[in-house]
Structures are given as C-alpha cells and as structure tokens.
Amino acid sequence: MHIAHEKLQGLDREGLIALVEPILRAHGVQAVELVWAGRGGESVLSLTIERPEAQVAGEGITLDLCSEVSRDLSSALDVTDLIPGRFRLEVGSPGVERKLYEAADYDRFAGQPAKLKLKVPVEGQYTFRGQLAGLDETGNVLIHTDAGELHLEFANIQSGHLVFDWKAAKPGRSANEAQSGTGKNGRKARQRSR
C-alpha cells in the first residue's frame, strides 16, 4: 500500500500497514496520510483518506464513511497489540486545501488553484500561487501564475497545497460543498480512546 505521507515512529509500520490496507480497500478509499503523534499529553493515530479517482480534494469522503472506516480500524486495532496503551484514532478527509506530496498529485489536480513554496527561488521568488497545469514531458510541475506559465522542478518544491477561494463560497454552504457539491470540509470521525 502506498501512502503519500506517513510518520509512524515507534510503531510496527509493516504490521500497521498490513492491518489498514484491507480495511481501506473494502471501503474503496486510499490513504493520503498516516501519522502517529503525541498531542496535548495523549497519543493520536491520524488517518487521512480519499477516493483514488477523485479529481477534487475530499470528494466522496463523507462523515459516515469516515465513521465506518474508523469503526472498522478501531475494531481491528483492538484485537492486536500493534499500538500499546491508550490512544485516539482520527479518520478524516484531506479537506479542500489538500497538501500535495508527490508529482502525481500536481498532475491529478491540474486545473485547480494551488500555492507552492520552493527551496531555491525562481525569478527571485520562493512562493507562487496559480492554477496547476499538470506536469510537462520532463516531469516539471506546470503552474499558471499572473506572471505567466512556470515550469518548476518537482525536487525544488518544499511544499504545496491546493487553495480554496473562500470568498467565492456561498454563505451557508461548507467549503467542500461549494467546491464539489458534497459534505463538509475536512471531515473527521473520532473513535473513543482505548
């Protein structure tokens, strides 16, 4: 199973992935992020999921789906000793301002606005906002900015994320409803602590 971003320090990575993979497959989703961290004196396992075919961040990820994945994963974790002690499990969508981790993300979300931060400046700038245009034939990230089209080396991108136009969202609708016609932004289901 491929996960774009993972941080599982101190856990049995292979065992956890082997446990998570069939649950995600059964629900027709894939993992974007899987992170083990301490927050405010408690341990948290956070799983961010998305539909593999979705062209809009968070599309098709409902609160009910997050709850179902959380319930199934919690049950599976209860019968193993992969995570000792008490912890909280969080399952959610990447939200409308999804982070872009891999070159394929820049291609997949072509046509959407994004913000990119570079390691080394291009044309004297470290940060660019514009509309993603996929990848060129050499694998550079294409982005249309006010200054024109740029070809940025993927290796030079420190971080990137989609940008949602909050001002354009209609009052009374959540950000994700405005962007994709579904549910709320950054849905998250929490299971009770073990």
Torsion angle of the four alpha carbons 117, 120, 125, 129, in this order, in degrees rounded to the nearest 10: -20
Confidence bin at 52 (pLDDT 50/70/90): very high
The mean per-residue pLDDT over the stretch 43-58 comes to: 94
Query: Does 36 have pLDDT greater than 90?
Result: yes
The mean per-residue pLDDT over the stretch 23-37 comes to: 97
- For residue 86, the cross-strand partners are none
Query: Does 175 have pLDDT greater than 70?
Result: no
Which pair of structure tokens corresponds to residue 116? 């990119």
Question: Which position has the higher pLDDT, 100 or 176?
Answer: 100
Residues 38-57 as b/e (b if ≥16 CB within 10 A, e otherwise) read: eeeeebbbbbbbbbeebebb
Confidence bin at 189 (pLDDT 50/70/90): low
Q: Are 141 and 77 in contact (CB under 8 A)?
A: no
Tally of CB atoms within 10 A around 116: 24
